[in-house]
């Protein structure tokens, strides 16, 4: 089953809400239990602070718990005497009931003496037998001091009786021995019945129900917020998807309204930039096709017209006519060859046979071959070439093609009489070649456009003297294939200055 983006986002939010509320429910339940238990321990410990202090003082004085081990009644009397918390809570303190065999001195009011030990050899009195509790729970409720227990440091009961139906909270008995605190035993405090009732299943179930209701309310609120949130997010993404579909269909003029500073707004800005780039590319493609068609049609039309004139007898078929036809054919062949070279560089199919070569030698060879053409054009060449070898790892034939294109570009677009200045020097780890020419110049804003295919600055170029506007494009591809850089700037001579930077060969 496939879900759309809105459903997927909602399901993610819903899962997150379920996990969050479930975690909060478990955490609240556990934290309540732990916190409540800790609270009970602290309260019981504080209520029995007097008894704890008395037990620690007793151990420091005696050095052991033998007094409680030998006389169980002494432990019960000790607990009752120091259980001040009973009176602090307003409860009626239960007097220590000595066993009948230890108390046979009837006071005047008929109650047994609680402060003197006597052995009764005649047995229990009838009234005492009537007051003996028959129910163990009633016995513990009316005689709470019998519920306390004392454990030694090994957690073994040494005084008092540990009842199975009691829940005990243990407090450490710590004294200072030779400057170090040491645990000498534990006081087992019976949990207050009222507090114990709070821990029973019914109370726990009620609390669990409250926590569950709270978690369900939080889950409903989270799901309610997830619905509009998922809608808002998916609506923005849907607009982006619609825009991409329009771009795919060729509609590059549509733009998205980028609002905000989040990632989706940034993506919208990138898509607008992509649409602008595609629109420019489409316009350049159409212009390229139109320019190529025009460039191919012009020499073909002239060649066809000359052939028809010769065929009709308008012009004589002589050496001059043949030279004119050869000129048109050469121009057409040069244009086709430039297109072929440019297509090879675009697809990366142009072959390069790189090896170590001297840039200075290649420049000298190329400039010597151009001397006749410079003289015919009425141009003067000035050279400033570094005398030391400038070794680079390159294809010598492609570098010569690069230099020939740059020389021809300057010759074709420089007015006669004019000057061309060539320089080659070393700068850091690069060889820098520059070629400058005199007027006419080009507006600096159009310098970068000169690298575009078939582009001409009409004030300085013409189809009669210049090429098809492909030379500089080919030059840039050759330079980039050699990990170099090429740029155009204004020359001090009044024309253009082309700078080529190529990395030098790293010596082993």
Query: Residue 432 has what pLDDT?
Result: 95
Query: Residue 27 has what pLDDT?
Result: 76
Domain end marker among 158, 178, 201: 201
With a cut of 70, say whether residue 120 has pLDDT above it. no
For the stretch 202-233, pLDDT in tens is 566 677 777 778 778 877 887 777 777 777 77
Domain end marker among 318, 343, 368: 343
With a cut of 60, say whether residue 48 has pLDDT above it. yes
Domain end marker among 313, 343, 373: 343
For the stretch 60-106, pLDDT in tens is 888 888 888 888 788 888 888 777 544 444 444 434 444 444 344 44
Task: Please tell me the pTM assigned to this model.
Answer: 0.45
For the stretch 247-293, pLDDT in tens is 888 888 888 877 777 777 888 888 888 888 888 888 877 777 776 77
Going by C-alpha positions, the residue among 412, 380, 405, 421 that lies closest to residue 486 is 405
For the stretch 152-207, pLDDT in tens is 888 888 888 887 777 777 888 888 888 788 888 998 877 766 555 555 555 666 77
Q: How many CB atoms lie within 10 A of CB 445?
A: 7
With a cut of 60, say whether residue 36 has pLDDT above it. yes
The strand order across the sheet containing 494-503 reads 379-385, 418-427, 430-438, 494-503, 485-490
Containing structural domain, residue 456: 352-503
Same domain for 331 and 369?
A: no
CB 105, CB 55: distance < 8 Å: no
Q: Rounded mean pLDDT of the chain?
A: 76
Give the integer Cα–Cα distance in Å for 117 and 119.
7
Residue with tokens 């019960």, as numbered in its chain: 76
Same domain for 107 and 84?
A: yes
Same domain for 421 and 494?
A: yes
Residue 281 resides in a domain: yes
């Amino acid at each position: 089953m496939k879900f759309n983006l809105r459903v997927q986002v909602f399901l993610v939010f819903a899962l997150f809400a379920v996990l969050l509320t479930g975690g909060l429910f478990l955490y609240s339940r556990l934290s309540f239990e732990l916190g409540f238990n800790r609270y009970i321990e602290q309260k019981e410990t504080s209520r029995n602070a007097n008894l704890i202090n008395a037990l620690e003082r007793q151990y420091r004085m005696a050095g052991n718990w033998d007094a409680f081990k030998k006389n169980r009644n002494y432990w019960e009397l000790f607990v009752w005497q120091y259980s001040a918390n009973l009176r602090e809570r307003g409860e009626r303190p239960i007097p220590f009931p000595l066993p009948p065999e230890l108390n046979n001195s009837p006071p005047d009011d008929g109650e047994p003496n609680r402060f003197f030990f006597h052995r009764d050899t005649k047995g229990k009195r009838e009234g005492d037998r009537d007051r003996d509790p028959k129910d163990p729970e009633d016995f513990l409720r009316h005689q709470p001091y019998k519920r306390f227990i004392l454990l030694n440091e090994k957690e073994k009961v040494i005084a008092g009786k540990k009842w199975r139906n009691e829940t005990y909270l243990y407090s450490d008995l710590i004294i200072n021995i030779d400057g170090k605190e040491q645990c000498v035993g534990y006081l087992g405090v019976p949990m207050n019945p009222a507090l114990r009732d709070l821990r029973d299943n019914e109370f726990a179930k009620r609390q669990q129900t409250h926590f569950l209701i709270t978690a369900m309310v939080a889950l409903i609120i989270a799901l309610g917020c997830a619905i509009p949130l998922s809608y808002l997010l998916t609506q923005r993404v849907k607009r982006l998807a619609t825009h991409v579909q329009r771009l795919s269909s060729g509609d590059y003029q549509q733009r998205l309204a980028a609002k905000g500073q989040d990632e989706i707004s940034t993506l919208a800005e990138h898509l607008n930039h992509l649409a602008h780039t595609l629109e420019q590319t489409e316009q350049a493609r159409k212009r390229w096709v139109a320019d190529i068609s025009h460039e191919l049609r012009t020499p073909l039309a002239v060649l066809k017209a000359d052939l028809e004139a010769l065929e009709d007898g308008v012009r004589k078929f002589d050496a001059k006519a043949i030279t004119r036809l050869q000129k048109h054919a050469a121009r057409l062949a040069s244009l086709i060859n430039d297109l072929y070279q440019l297509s090879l560089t675009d697809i990366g199919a142009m072959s390069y046979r790189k090896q170590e070569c001297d840039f200075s030698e290649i420049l000298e060879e190329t400039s010597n071959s151009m001397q006749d053409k410079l003289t015919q054009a009425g141009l003067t060449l000035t050279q400033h070439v570094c005398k030391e070898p400038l070794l680079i790892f390159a294809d010598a034939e492609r570098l010569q093609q690069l230099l020939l294109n740059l020389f021809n570009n300057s010759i074709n677009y420089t007015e006669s009489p004019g000057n061309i200045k060539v320089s080659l020097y070393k700068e850091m780890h690069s060889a820098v070649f520059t070629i400058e020419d005199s007027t006419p110049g080009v507006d600096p804003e159009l310098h970068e456009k000169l690298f575009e295919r078939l582009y001409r600055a009409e004030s300085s170029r013409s189809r009669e003297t210049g090429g098809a506007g492909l030379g500089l494009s080919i030059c840039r591809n050759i330079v980039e294939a050699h990990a170099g850089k090429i740029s155009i700037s204004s020359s001090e001579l009044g024309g253009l200055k082309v700078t080529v930077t190529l990395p030098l060969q790293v010596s082993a």
